[in-house]
Structure 1
């Protein structure tokens, strides 16, 4: 299987060039615990998390992409906009950022400072973005489950999107069993997650 090279910032260093609307930051709300990554893609390291219902400033979005430059609690990085919503018209109803008006946010460019090598994408995480926040995560797993997952690490599968509770892993992804435990696990975009085998829905993200 061929690998793809991504120009990435492994240490979270990126150059942002905002064009269009200056000072047009939008305050957006996360529908689920949402990773902040050092670059615009799931192959980049996680540098922070926007908690469910917490807000972050969106400085702009990469043109032709669902990845947006964000700032949350002093952490700058990139987040997947399917799981962010904002009132774009003077404090009205919240709209998923992916469905934002084209003129609502300026385009942001990304210039990498190093090269990251990852496997090709094997599909995408499934599920309506507007329904993600309605799925409650399970209680934190027992310590022995977390230890087993970390001790039996498997190669991550890269899927378009972000690993959040409520998203569904496609049938092409092999789920791994955990001894004496009802849920399965897999590493999605470098993130270990617990999966309900009947629905293939992510029920917990191990952080």
Structure 2
């Protein structure tokens, strides 16, 4: 049974660390975003919330970019960097100002009384390699502007992989990376996000947001 199927079959419970008395927060989507049934790219997409949609923000997971919202009749999970909250007349991105905005911290825990322990990936699952502490000694780079121009002018098919796309993660060998002329790093699009990759180690060194 694949990782994806195990995750979908398991029961889940949402726990709010801020308590039941925490008031809901109003947020706005900064772009068109996919709403997923759980906090991870392995969960199926419920639908798409268009840019400028009004959303009710329940809270975000500690140490993660995933937040749970009610938006356009859908209840699901989205990335914090695509949500903004109005405060004192200014629009503030949730990812950058979680503490300032007082966004509640919530957790998402498996409750599976039959199967315990970690879920192992199946042979058909493709996963990003884990990110070691400090990014596995990978230093995030700052690419020149012309690199993004080249990527935009030479689009490639997106690759769908489980787990968040992050600096220091390792791409599976099955993922083809594409050279950039006169530049030491290659590129690929993962989960609709262009990333720069060290072709020698296949480690991600930059993620375009």
Give the structure-2-normalised TM-score. Answer: 0.54
Partner of 1:101: 99
Change (3 A) 1:105 1:121: same
Once structures 1 and 2 are overlaid, which stretch shifts more, 60-69 or 102-111?
102-111
Q: 1:188 aligns with which of 180, 187, 190?
A: 190
What are the residue-to-residue correspondences of 1:118-137 with 2, within 5 Å? 118=125, 119-121=127-129
Q: Does 1:92 align with 2:89?
A: yes
1:179 corresponds to which residue? none
The gaps in structure 2 that reach 5 residues or longer are 113-118, 132-139, 141-151, 179-187, 195-206
Q: RMSD of aligned C-alpha atoms?
A: 4.7
In the comparison of the two structures, how many residue pairs are matched? 158
Instruction: Confirm or deny that 1:35 pairs with 2:34.
Output: yes
Q: Is 1:158–1:188's contact at 8 Å kept on the other side of the alignment?
A: no
State the partner residue of 2:47.
Answer: 48
In the TM superposition, residue 23 of structure 1 has moved relative to its aligned partner by 3.6
Aligned to 1:16: 14
Task: Classify 1:9/1:94 alpha carbon distance in 2 versus 1 (closer, same or farther; 3 Å).
Answer: farther
**8 Å contact from structure 1 (residues 159, 188) kept in 2:** no
TM-score (norm 1): 0.54
Which structure's relative contact order is higher, taking Cα pairs within 8 Å and 6+ residues apart? 1
Query: Aligned to 1:41, what secondary structure does the other structure show?
Result: coil
Residues 8-64 of structure 1: per-residue CA shift (max 9 Å, x gap): 742796421112252422111112111111111222211122211112111011112
Q: Do the aligned partners of 1:70 and 1:78 also contact (CA within 8 Å) in 2?
A: yes
Rg larger in structure: 2
Distance in 2, Cα, partners of 1:12 & 1:53: 33
Q: What is the CA–CA distance in structure 1 between the aligned matches of 2:93 and 2:12, rounded to whole Å?
A: 25
Q: Which runs of 5+ in 1 are unaligned?
A: 127-137, 139-148, 163-169, 177-185, 196-200, 203-207
1:157 to 141, 155, 161: 161
